[in-house]
Structure 1
């Protein structure tokens, strides 16, 4: 068993992948905890899909792909805010409009790029953690340090705004700035996770570890710590599965995270489906709910 863990680490690409997996697991779960508490999962989805045209444009103009993705992600949040504040369109509808348009633009640009070159940009869609370069590891490390530093320094303010935005505004906190800052942190996190899980699956790493921790603990800082641990475990386990069984790395990582979530959903000591006393057996309650759907 020990040999199975050590053997892949003799290769430099696996060492880079392991470090990237740890960083992505930590930063995604930490930032994703805010999305979970604020019920803004769609915002993470919108930004993650919106970075794709930035990746394609950066490649066309021959400058850093991470920078292009970040600029596109931030620009998408500005467009969402502009639509929401300048019209009667609700925020969730604005997110859906923007991320679908940006994603379509990204796919179109990637298709155009691939007509003239043989480079494959599809790994940005689904991730390929086993192919990260040293420079990409450094970029991910820098982003992770920046994001975690901001969260530590502004933890109280962000927590106040997360749980009581109206109270935070009444107390004089710059809520608009905090909201925009949180969007920037999300964009940075997505950029850091691009090579590991891709733009399509990054939402799973933002939400699933935090959701799993949400079923097990009750305080935000505990949720972040446990979510980070679960994110790291999912990333490393998925990486090893990808190596030994020749699986796509991004989907493997996400499936491990989903498996942990299902275990917590079923067997959480406080919120588990099968661990809570019920007056009606679970199978009968589920059957009643199904029948109720048809009746309504």
Structure 2
């Protein structure tokens, strides 16, 4: 379904009948008394499922903060686990009201959903096994097996954009990529440094973060395309989160011991609409 939505957006100008996208009516989040928020469930430090209906991580805490600024109580927030591949679909099909799931803002995605934020600007890096000293930067991935989660752009930025001849291996989630890395099926996993730092924190003796970031990844809050007013309210909430010190506190809570150079200033917003 995701491919259909994005393909339709790419040819919107010619209005092909086959590309009609059926979506539910979207009420503005400004009128919400409850919120359904899409988060990851397998990314330690960001969005990790800890029980039947409970999640923990930076994205989860940011989601609670934004909900509070929108006037929705913590107990009225429902989290929905999503994969990278599902993020557009769950918004378009009105299965969630917001998505906070390490959701990088791209021009193509902006054709089908709105983005508040970014609420953080991460940087793409590389995770390898601890005993691998051959990979010291992105150029060293040539000829190596590189794993990415389905629906992610991380391998594209290396193979297509930088012309590095790595062998792409794709799995449904980054957790599956990490499992392949641990047993030597792939040589590296490359994605946002916050994601990699969460996995590294769980097994510091097994992996090594290369520490040579090479892109900026703007984490956005996905909002229904037509809800411009709701998107603008999300931006006001993110601004307040940085100004009152909550953002810095949450970054320290989840990543303070990782050694990452954390960004603590309000990111430049992309704009709604």
TM-score of the aligned structures, taking structure 1 as reference length: 0.22
Structure with larger Rg: 1
